[in-house]
Amino acid sequence: MSNPSSEPPPVEIPGAHPIRTYPQFLWKAVGVATDGNFAFYAWMTALTAVFLVGVHAFARQTAHGLALTALSDHVSWGMYIGNFTFAVGLAAGAVMMVIPAYLYRDHDMHDVVIVGEILAISAIVVSLAFVNVDLGRLDRAWHLMPVIGRFNWPMSMLTWDVVVLSGYLAINLHVVGYLLYTRFRGATPNPKWYVPFVFLSIVWAVSIHTVTAFLYSGLGGRPFWNTAILAPRFIASAFVTGPAFIVLALQVVRRLTDFHVGDKPIATLVSVLRVTVLLNLFLVGAEVFTELYAGTAHSASARYLYFGLHGHNALVPWIWSAIALNVTAAALFLSSSTRTHLWRIDLACVLTMAGVWIEKGIGLIVPGFVPSTLHELVEYLPNALEWKVTLGIWALGLLVFTVGLKLAVAVFTGRMRADTAAQGSR
C-alpha cells in the first residue's frame, strides 16, 4: 500500500554537516514557503489579508481596551477563550495520528504522521494567540514567565496551562524539525532522537486538554463547569476535531501535491471518528441528563443554554445547531464508506468540526457566566471586532499549517535537499 517511491531512500549527502547545514535549511525553507503556483499565492494572500484585518482589530482593541468587545463583568470570557479551548482540542486531537502510527506501528499512518504533528504546532500557535489577545495587559505578559515574572505554580491552573502548552509546542517543533532536517540532509532519522519525544507527545496531548478542562472545572463558583466529566468531554471532542481536520487536510494534500497519501490512513482516522463522535455525543448527553433531571438550582446555566431562561435565549439556536451538526455527522460517519462515499465523509468532518466548535467554544464558555454568580442574566454574543480578531488568528494558524505542510511535502518528496559538499553551505 505504501508507495516507497514517494520517499526517496535517505542517502546521507556528503558534506551536509549536522549543524553547519542548518542556515541552508532555513534559507531553503523560506524559498519553499514562498514559492508556488497561482492558487498557492492566492490562498496565502487571502489568508494574509484576513490575518491583517485581525491584527488591525486587535491593535484597536489593545489601544482602547477590551471595552470594544462584547464582553462585560458578567460574561468576562467569550469568543477568544472559547476558540482557545477549541484550538487546544485540535492540537491534542492531532495525536490521534501519532497513536496508530507509533503505538500500533501502522506503517501507512507512519508515512503521513507528520501532518498531525504540523497540525499540533499550528493549533498551539492559534491557542496561544487566543489567550494573548484576551489579556487586558499584553505588555505585562512577561509577568507570566517563570523566574523573571511571578509564576503562581502549582496553585494556578493557568500556569499549568502555560507549562503544558509551551511544552507541547516544543515537543512537536522538535519532532517535526528533527524529522524534516534529517531528511533534508539525506540522513536517516535516529529513533533515539525522536521516538521518545513522540511517546511523550502522546501523554502530553492528553495533559494539555486535561489541564485546559481543569481551568474551568476547578472553579467551584461556576457549577456549569464544576463537573468531573469536563476533562473526558474535552478529550473526546478533541479526538473528533483532530482526526476530522486531518482527514480533510490529507485529502487536500493528496489532490494538490505529489506527496503520497494512501487510502488507509484516512480509513483508519474515519474508524477512529466513528467511535469518538459517538463517545462525544454520549458524554454530552450524560452531562445534559445530570444537569436537567435533578432540576437543582445549579442547572440554571444548562437550562439557559438549551432552552433559554426568563426570555433570554441567545445561545439556544447555537447549541441546537451544534447538536444537529454532531448528530448528522455521526450518522454520516456511520453510514458512509470511505471507499464509496468519501465526499460524505468530508462533509461529516466539516459538520462535526463546526458542531464541536460551537459546543466547546461559545456553548461551553458563555453559559458558565449566564446567569452570573449573582444570578443576573446578561447575555453575550461576539461582536464584529471579536469576529475579526478570531478569523485573523485562524488565518494565522492556516498560514503556519500551510507553510509547514509545504516544507514537509518538499522535504519528503526530495525537492528540498541539502546541497552537496561541492556547492557547500558556506
131 near other proteins (CB under 8 A)? yes
CA distance 265 to 2: 10
CA distance 274 to 224: 28
Among 3, 18, 27, 143, binds other proteins (CB under 8 A): 143
Minimum CB distance to other proteins smaller for 12 or for 35: 35
Among 71, 198, 272, 416, binds other proteins (CB under 8 A): 71
* Site stretch for other proteins (CB under 8 A), options 122-130, 142-150, 235-243, 393-401: 142-150
H-type alpha helices, 185-307? 191-217, 230-256, 263-294, 300-307
Nearest approach, Cβ of residue 251 and other proteins (Å)? 29
Given a contact cutoff of 8 angstroms between Cβ atoms, the answer to whether 28 and 416 are in contact is: yes
Terminal-residue alpha carbon distance, the chain: 41
375 near other proteins (CB under 8 A)? yes
Buried b (16+ CB within 10 A) or exposed e, 194-233: beeebeebbebbbbbbbbbbbbbbeeeebbbbebeebbbb
Specify which residues 113 forms β-bridges with.
none
140 near other proteins (CB under 8 A)? yes
* Site stretch for other proteins (CB under 8 A), options 10-18, 155-163, 248-256, 401-409: 155-163
Among 11, 12, 27, 35, binds other proteins (CB under 8 A): 35
Minimum CB distance to other proteins smaller for 107 or for 150: 150
* Site stretch for other proteins (CB under 8 A), options 47-55, 115-123, 239-247, 256-264: 47-55
Given a contact cutoff of 8 angstroms between Cβ atoms, the answer to whether 279 and 337 are in contact is: no
Which candidate, 226, 320, 334, 222, places its Cα nearest to that of 278?
334
Total residues belonging to the chain: 426
CA distance 332 to 20: 51
Among 4, 9, 191, 220, binds other proteins (CB under 8 A): 220
* Site stretch for other proteins (CB under 8 A), options 98-106, 150-158, 235-243, 412-420: 150-158
Among 107, 150, 339, 415, binds other proteins (CB under 8 A): 150
Query: Helix or strand or coil: residue 16?
Result: coil
H-type alpha helices, 22-149? 22-33, 38-64, 79-93, 95-98, 107-133
Minimum CB distance to other proteins smaller for 77 or for 320: 77
56 exposure class (CB count in 10 Å sphere: 0-12, 13-18, 19+): middle
Nearest approach, Cβ of residue 293 and other proteins (Å)? 19
Among 156, 251, 321, 425, binds other proteins (CB under 8 A): 156
Q: Give the helix/strand (H/E) hosting 227.
A: none
Taken in order 47, 53, 55, 58, the sign of the CA dihedral is negative
> Pattern 281-300, binding to other proteins, x per CB under 8 A?
----------------x--x
Given a contact cutoff of 8 angstroms between Cβ atoms, the answer to whether 368 and 75 are in contact is: no
Nearest approach, Cβ of residue 11 and other proteins (Å)? 27
Among 279, 314, 347, 354, binds other proteins (CB under 8 A): 314
66 near other proteins (CB under 8 A)? yes
State which amino acid sits at residue 34: T
228 near other proteins (CB under 8 A)? no
Within 10 Å of residue 355's Cβ, how many Cβ atoms? 29
Among 17, 74, 254, 344, binds other proteins (CB under 8 A): 74
63 near other proteins (CB under 8 A)? yes
77 near other proteins (CB under 8 A)? yes
Among 28, 209, 222, 260, binds other proteins (CB under 8 A): 222
One DSSP character per residue, 135-167 reads -S-GGGGGGGSTTTS---TTT-HHHHHHHHHHH
Minimum CB distance to other proteins smaller for 271 or for 296: 296
Among 155, 228, 294, 422, binds other proteins (CB under 8 A): 155
88 near other proteins (CB under 8 A)? no
Task: Report residue 355 CA to chain centroid gap.
Answer: 15
Residues that bind other proteins (CB under 8 A): 34-35, 48, 52-53, 55-56, 59-60, 62-67, 69-74, 76-77, 131, 134-137, 139-141, 143-144, 149-152, 155-159, 162, 215-216, 218-222, 297, 300, 309-310, 314, 368-369, 371-381, 383
